[in-house]
Amino acid sequence: EPEVTQTPSHQVTQMGQEVILRCVPISNHLYFYWYRQILGQKVEFLVSFYNNEISEKSEIFDDQFSVERPDGSNFTLKIRSTKLEDSAMYFCASSEARTGTDTQYFGPGTRLTVL
């Protein structure tokens, strides 16, 4: 069964460093998403992406964040200068279409720890 994959599973970085989290969405999906979950808190939407541009972003997704689809398979989330409060589990998701009825399939997540 097709699945969303994410690498690395765990990333440790120093405050102020740049990190890139990688995702490979399901191959025939067109819409991609990033969510994050700070320990003990809700899963929160960060950004959605379609046709090589951002469709929607939340208040959390400020200028230090960026997303890219550098090739036909990868979808990346870059955090330019990490802060302690960026420590969280980051989930990538993808879906076939853009309506509310279409299931978003989630990857296993990348745990980011900022020291």
Q: Give contact residues for another protein (rule: CB under 8 A).
A: 4, 6, 31, 33, 35, 41-45, 48, 55-56, 58, 91, 93, 95, 98-109
In the complex, minimum distance from the CB of residue 115 to another protein, in angstroms, rounded to a whole number: 22
93, burial (CB in 10 Å: exposed 0-12, middle 13-18, buried 19+): buried
**Dist CA 39 CA 5 (whole Å):** 21
In the complex, minimum distance from the CB of residue 15 to another protein, in angstroms, rounded to a whole number: 26
**Dist CA 29 CA 24 (whole Å):** 10
* 5 vs 74, beta carbon nearer another protein: 5
The answer to whether 20 and 80 are in contact (CB under 8 A) is no
In the complex, minimum distance from the CB of residue 30 to another protein, in angstroms, rounded to a whole number: 12
* 79 vs 93, beta carbon nearer another protein: 93
